[in-house]
Chain A
Amino acid sequence: GAGVSQSPSNKVTEKGKDVELRCDPISGHTALYWYRQSLGQGLEFLIYFQGNSAPDKSGLPSDRFSAERTGGSVSTLTIQRTQQEDSAVYLCASSLNAGGTSEAFFGQGTRLTVV
């Protein structure tokens, strides 16, 4: 596609439910990132995928969070047993490769509201 696509755009869920957020990166981009943006805050790194390498999960806040990237393309971020503090905008980005001045292209994010 022309850009990074994320779905859904907005998601309201009840506390305790599981949610899945989807990211479709730019074709050919080997690096994919997930960030979380809480209200009034900067972006917080969650997880990084690069090609077939093991992902860097060091930013995941708890074991309720997990992510996978199938076939080196689409990624899904799953939050189990959602809590109110999980409410945030979840942004996905991809880049041609990692590091240096390689530009990260961001999607429009999924705004998650846990009620």
Chain B
Amino acid sequence: AQTVTQSQPEMSVQEAETVTLSCTYDTSESDYYLFWYKQPPSRQMILVIRQEAYKQQNATENRFSVNFQKAAKSFSLKISDSQLGDAAMYFCAYRKPSNDYKLSFGAGTTVTVRA
């Protein structure tokens, strides 16, 4: 079974500053997919960014970028120029390749943005 660990229950960041959320995972697979989801108070999970393990280049989506370290099994999320709307719970998730469909989630990190 895959284990996804988010070691930071809460993080606080000043508006316009940068915050980095950590995620580590355990797998014996060589190919897999990693995701970061955002869950605002509305409860709806929103996909922020995704990374395919076979790609060495780190994924970026506007102000969101990842640092994918495959050997270390680490997948951190960096939020640059933080905005008040970034306040939410962030979940790291793992999925095996091909036809596997189950997402394994970490426990989440609550991000607070200070004005």
Q: Do A and B bind each other?
A: yes
Interfacial residues, chain A to chain B (CB-CB below 8 A): 31, 33, 35, 40-45, 48, 50, 56, 59, 89, 91, 93, 95, 98-101, 103-104, 106-109, 111
Q: Which 6 A-B pairs have the closest CB atoms?
A: A42-B105, A106-B45, A98-B101, A43-B105, A109-B43, A108-B44
Which chain B residues lie closer than 8 Å to A40 at the CB level? 107-108
Instruction: Give the Cβ gap from A105 to chain B, nearest Cβ, in Å.
Output: 8
Nearest to A3 among chain B residues (CB) is B44
Instruction: Give the Cβ gap from B102 to chain A, nearest Cβ, in Å.
Output: 5
Interfacial residues, chain B to chain A (CB-CB below 8 A): 4, 6, 33, 37, 42-47, 50, 52, 91, 93, 95, 97-108
Contact across chains for A100 and B43 when beta carbons are under 8 A apart: no
Contact across chains for A91 and B43 when beta carbons are under 8 A apart: yes
Q: Give the tally of cross-chain contacts (CB within 8 A).
A: 66
**Which listed residue, B44, B102, B106, touches A48 by the CB 8 Å rule?**
B102
Which chain A residues lie closer than 8 Å to B108 at the CB level? 40-42
Contact across chains for A99 and B97 when beta carbons are under 8 A apart: yes
Instruction: Give the Cβ gap from B77 to chain A, nearest Cβ, in Å.
Output: 15
Question: Among the interface residues B45, B46, B103, which one has the most CB atoms of the partner chain A within 10 A?
Answer: B45
Contact across chains for A41 and B101 when beta carbons are under 8 A apart: no
Contact across chains for A89 and B43 when beta carbons are under 8 A apart: yes
Nearest to A4 among chain B residues (CB) is B44
Nearest to A41 among chain B residues (CB) is B107
**Which listed residue, B4, B33, B102, touches A45 by the CB 8 Å rule?**
B102
Per the bound structure, the CA–CA distance linking A31 and B50 in Å amounts to 19
